[in-house]
Amino acid sequence: MPHDEQLYLRPNIQVEPLIDGWYAWPHLIPPATAARNITERHMKIMDSYINMPQVHANAVKNPKMLGGPFIDYEGKRVDEIRALRENIKRERAHLIELSAALVELDNILRESAKGYSLLPLYEKIPAILRGYVELVYDLNNHPSFRLIEPLLYKSRYYDRSQQSVRLSKISNDDRPFVLSTPRLESDDALHLHLPFDSPVIDDLFRLKSSPRPWREIKEKLRVPDSRDDLLRSFLTPEAPPPYSPYAGPGVRWRYFGHACILIESQGVSMVFDPVLSYTYENGISRYTYLDLPDEIDYVLITHNHQDHILFETLLQIRHKIKNIVVPRNNRGHLQDPSLKLLFENCGFRNVVELNELEEIRVGDVSITGLPFFGEHADLDIHSKMAWLVKLGLHTLLFAADSCNIDPVLYEHLHRNFGDVDALFLGMECDGAPLSWLYGPLLSRKIERGMDESRRLAGSNYEQAMNIVNHLNCREAYVYAMGQEPWLNYIMSIKYTEQSRPMTESTKLINACRERGIIAERLYGEKEILLEPKSSPDVAPPLAIRA
Ligand SMILES: [Fe+2]
Ligand SMILES: [Fe+2]
């Protein structure tokens, strides 16, 4: 092949960011949560598969077990799973020790911290944790510890050699659930041992819009000659269609699926919770990577759940992002790793933290962080924020999975911020139990009844309607429902028309429409243009495309 041929990365090449072969969702990156997930999630799933592969094969086929801790290799490849387990035990022995030390520290505090000075306990802290934790009481003498997360990232416990990316072709929405199944080597995938902060990752994804010669691409990615054909099949001389940014006088927003929305207005672009489909024809029309501007001024993250922080998308667009805005949290709680540190250590620059009620302002555009209650099983977690966006006289609120557990909050917010034109709200009102996500962080098993009562649940009809009422919304959009089929690989949700999140959100939509409020459950793609408002009372959408 000619060495100077200019080639692009094809738009249907999927990238799976991996940690020791496991799909890299956000708790697998910070050292302490990673350590706990290795021992309490990955080791347990692999042990179970090695002992009973057929049980896993059957469970994966059972729709009721969707999202459960089962490996999806049809009961096969047991030797490879065993080899992976042994490799992790050997290579990550220090993280396995860290996981045990966190439990030991918890036990020491439970047994010995009774309200008296914590000073004598420092010498009992497991040696490997010394200097990385401060012991504290709350005002009721309940002991706990504070992790010095920035130091942990600089220690041997943040191990970039665990990280890699795996490239392969994708041509339809059928993609197996990735969170419980480690990725094994395969002939049709190119496994690049690059840490997430490598600039080569940005160069790779720049190839989606700027071509480079074959020889340069091959050398940069350090692909062996034996994989030339595979790499070449991921590339194409065909240029993608150019993107036309919105240049109108008002606001354009576009729904990309789940909680991912692009807004363009007055030369400012922002993307909320980026989650993209790759580009291929598969029934439902959708926006993809090709529908993003060359530069994104602000990426805004609502909260630290794996369907809202998706490194698979974020790594692809990192080179386009000028600023990434995250809720401020750095209190050293195991259950609430710092988002700023997470992104910075994964190679993102200009990570901006906002506190509740803090604001960013650019010309006539402002972004304000508003409190996001609930949906985190009553754990003390600060990495969650609803984003209030003002664009001229238009006001939009991206509340993600906020659960309106105390309506008085919205009275206060209305008093301070006034009416909201359009509300975007998730209504996954059943929610998984605490242990589904946070179980590996617990040092003692939680009682079943407690676990069931503490859920990752968003707002139901009544709670959602209450927000619409308090904020005088003229438009209400239900989103973040995990319904788009191209998201099945990270969502464990398959609703029927009878599922509560569906019935409750339908009820909301009907009730809103009866009162003349525009309401819809977003699905697939949607575009809305808002004309410039001259006074707060004139604001119909100019055009709607379903
Ligand atoms: Fe969530
Ligand atoms: Fe969600």
Q: Digits of tens for pLDDT over the chain (546 positions)?
A: 566 889 999 999 999 999 999 999 999 999 999 999 999 999 999 999 999 999 999 999 988 888 889 999 999 999 999 999 999 999 999 999 999 999 999 999 999 999 999 999 999 999 999 999 999 999 999 999 999 999 999 999 999 999 999 999 999 998 888 889 999 999 999 999 999 999 999 999 999 999 999 999 999 999 999 999 999 999 999 999 999 999 999 999 999 999 999 999 999 999 999 999 999 998 899 999 999 999 999 999 999 999 999 999 999 999 999 999 999 998 899 999 999 999 999 999 999 999 999 999 999 999 999 999 999 999 999 999 999 999 999 999 999 999 999 999 999 999 999 999 999 999 999 999 999 999 999 999 999 999 999 999 999 999 999 999 999 999 999 999 999 999 999 987 778 889 999 999 999 999 999 999 999 999 999 999 999 876 555 444 444 443
Cα dihedral across residues 324, 330, 332, 333: positive or negative: negative
Which ligand is in closest contact with the Cα of 482? Answer: 2
539 CA distance to ligand 2 middle (Å): 29
400 CA distance to ligand 2 middle (Å): 7
424 CA distance to ligand 2 middle (Å): 12
448 CA distance to ligand 1 middle (Å): 21
Cβ contacts of residue 401 below 8 Å, gap of 6+? 302, 303, 305, 308, 372, 375, 426, 428, 456, 458, 480
Distance separating alpha carbons of residues 483 and 491, to the nearest angstrom? 9
pLDDT score of 67? 80
Which ligand is in closest contact with the Cα of 374? Answer: 1
Q: In 211-309, which residue ranges form alpha helices assigned H by DSSP? A: 214-221, 228-233
458 CA distance to ligand 1 middle (Å): 8
Backbone angles phi, psi at 322, to 5 degrees: -85, -40
354 CA distance to ligand 2 middle (Å): 20
144 CA distance to ligand 2 middle (Å): 29
426 CA distance to ligand 1 middle (Å): 9
- Cβ distance 254 to 287 under 8 Å? yes
44 CA distance to ligand 2 middle (Å): 26
Which ligand is in closest contact with the Cα of 428? Answer: 2
DSSP 443-474: SSPPPHHHHHHSB-----HHHHHHHHHHTT-S
401 CA distance to ligand 2 middle (Å): 6
498 CA distance to ligand 2 middle (Å): 20
Distance separating alpha carbons of residues 40 and 440, to the nearest angstrom? 5
Verdict on whether the full-model pTM lies above 0.85? yes
pLDDT score of 498? 92
234 CA distance to ligand 1 middle (Å): 34
pLDDT score of 535? 57
100 CA distance to ligand 1 middle (Å): 28
Q: Which tokens go with 68? A: 């459960």
pLDDT score of 297? 98
State the DSSP H helix or E strand holding residue 416, giving kind and residue range, or none if neither. helix 408-417
403 CA distance to ligand 1 middle (Å): 10
pLDDT score of 48? 98
237 CA distance to ligand 1 middle (Å): 40
Residue 297 has a CB neighbour count (10 Å cut-off) of: 19
pLDDT score of 541? 46
Q: In 251-348, which residue ranges form alpha helices assigned H by DSSP? A: 311-317, 339-345
336 CA distance to ligand 2 middle (Å): 16
Residue 422 has a CB neighbour count (10 Å cut-off) of: 23
Question: What region, left, alpha or beta, does residue 129 occupy, with left being phi > 0 and alpha being psi -120 to 50 degrees?
Answer: alpha
What's the DSSP call for residue 374?
-
C-alpha neighbours within 13 Å on the C-beta side of residue 2: 7
Residue 542 burial (C-beta neighbours within 10 Å; 0-12, 13-18, 19+): middle
Distance separating alpha carbons of residues 340 and 359, to the nearest angstrom? 17
DSSP 501-534: HHHHHHHHHHHHHHTT-EEEE--S-EEEEEPPPS
Which ligand is in closest contact with the Cα of 260? Answer: 2
Distance separating alpha carbons of residues 68 and 60, to the nearest angstrom? 8
257 CA distance to ligand 2 middle (Å): 12
Amino acid at 338: S
- Cβ distance 432 to 404 under 8 Å? no
Which ligand is in closest contact with the Cα of 307? Answer: 2
What's the DSSP call for residue 240?
P
CA 417 to chain centroid, in Å, comes to 28
State the DSSP H helix or E strand holding residue 438, giving kind and residue range, or none if neither. helix 434-438
Q: In 38-77, which residue ranges form alpha helices assigned H by DSSP? A: 43-51, 53-61
208 CA distance to ligand 2 middle (Å): 28
pLDDT score of 540? 46
Backbone angles phi, psi at 398, to 5 degrees: -100, 95
State the DSSP H helix or E strand holding residue 236, giving kind and residue range, or none if neither. strand 235-236
Q: Which tokens go with 413? A: 């917010």
305 CA distance to ligand 1 middle (Å): 5
